[in-house]
Amino acid sequence: MTDKYTQLVSRGLGKDIARKLGLPQPVELRRHKPGQPLIDGPVLVQGTGTGAEDLASTLLSWNLDVRRHAVPKERLGAIILVLDGLTGPEDLEKPVLTAATSLRDLAPNSRVITVSRAASDTTDPAVAAARQGVDGLLRSLAKELRAGATGNGIILGNGAGTTSPSSLGALRFFLSGRSAFVDGQFLTVGSGAGQLPADVEKPLAGKVAVVTGAARGIGAAIARTLHRDGATLVVVDIPAAGDHLAKVANDVRGTALQLDISRADAGQRIIEHAVQRHGRLDIVIHNAGITRDKLLANMDQGRWNSVINVNIAAQLRINDALLASEHFRNSPRIVSVASTSGIAGNRGQTNYAASKGGVMGMVRSTAPLIAVHGGSINAVAPGFIETEMTARIPFATREVARRLNSLQQGGQPGDVAEAIAFLASDAAGGISGDVLRVCGQNLVGA
């Protein structure tokens, strides 16, 4: 659904009127287009350790315009703040306040990215305090940025460095237009696993991917994005959506599988179809889901069980089949669609929020199981996304929901698809058990 208000106030007279009246001033976001530059403008890398030096050298090899010291009033495309050597909260002052002097020089749709280490990986209280402080710092800064700029962070586990494959993969994702609606979020690189693609425009070349719930909306956008990135697709949906599913399959030059994923044998049927038709199976995207909203006081058994069964129990059964299959062994990737409702809750959605919270718990616990095969599993949690479902929300409620994030607008199905495509790639191989919100950084809630 088109957000006409954002289009109106993004330019010309509409922009002037919004500013004078103190109305929200969302801007049209710089979303990914094949062949576009990674980032517009110089990239300022701040930090004094070897991690910062190594990272700056790598960015130079990407043909980016890299600065190690700010040039006054130079319009910047990004600021990367490398904080991987913190020993206590006092260490934050110099690098953070130095970076602060360049914030006014950020161009529209620019990026601020922190690179730090996991607080959970140390037993030193001072070190843990400093590392956890980066979390609050980055999330607060992201809410101060304007004109489509975003702030996100990369957290390095003990097995990862600033130039580990997935550290660089996460950095490329956050710098690019693929992360346009990701704001105030962190990705944790837990290991040195992963591999950067030889062709950045086709990072999924040679992979076979299954997308459930692919007949329309976010699922169709996921299938099209994975196809654009080089994957061969199997699109799955219920028989009642067969016509729409066939169209998506034709669009992505893949195959369609009409299947109710809540069937006990759904996992085996998915594996058999992928292997028989395409010879392999590398990626599974759990997108299929339903809502049956009702206040808990009015909730009945049918509404509760149907949501739990489709949204989480079916995924668990399919994952059991995948992990037991000899055909899902070559650095396999699983990405599930969760929801911010499962994090912050939502009135009238106790069943849905329970199922989506369950998805996040499943992802964390499955990570070590799939790691045995060199694989990864993660989840993406969308916020307000412009879909047929949100288009049915009453106008006033919809407008409020759109503006209650740092970017002051709703996301697009493609924004969710871009995050999933990254997490499904080998460039994210060192990221597992994580949940990435695609919500523009909600201003309220968890």
**Which residues are known to be catalytic?**
352
Specify the DSSP class assigned to residue 297: G
Residue 197 region by backbone torsions, left for phi larger than 0, else alpha for psi between -120 and 50, else beta: beta
> What would the DSSP string read from start to end of 16-74?
HHHHHHT-----------TT--SSSS-EEEE--SHHHHHHHHHHHHTT--EESS--TTP
Least Cα distance to 370 among 303, 411, 320 occurs for 320
On whether the CB atoms of residues 234 and 273 are closer than 8 A, the answer is: yes
Residue type at 96 in one-letter notation: V
In single-letter form, the type of residue at position 285 comes to I
Q: 131, 118 in Cβ contact below 8 A?
A: yes
Q: Mark out the alpha helices in 325-349 (DSSP H runs).
A: 341-344
Ordered DSSP codes for 162-186: TTSHHHHHHHHHHHSGGGTT--S-E
- Taking 3-state DSSP, the helix, strand and coil percentages for the chain, each rounded to the nearest 5, stand at 45, 15, 40
- Residue 343's contacts (CB-CB under 8 Å, 6 or more residues apart) are 357, 360, 381, 435, 437, 445, 446
Judged by DSSP in three states, 150 sits in strand
Residue 91 C-beta-side C-alpha neighbours within 13 Å:
21
Q: What is the dihedral of CA 428, 430, 432, 438, to 10 degrees?
A: -40
Q: How far is CA 184 from CA 164, 354, 419, 435, 443, in A?
A: 22, 24, 14, 13, 10
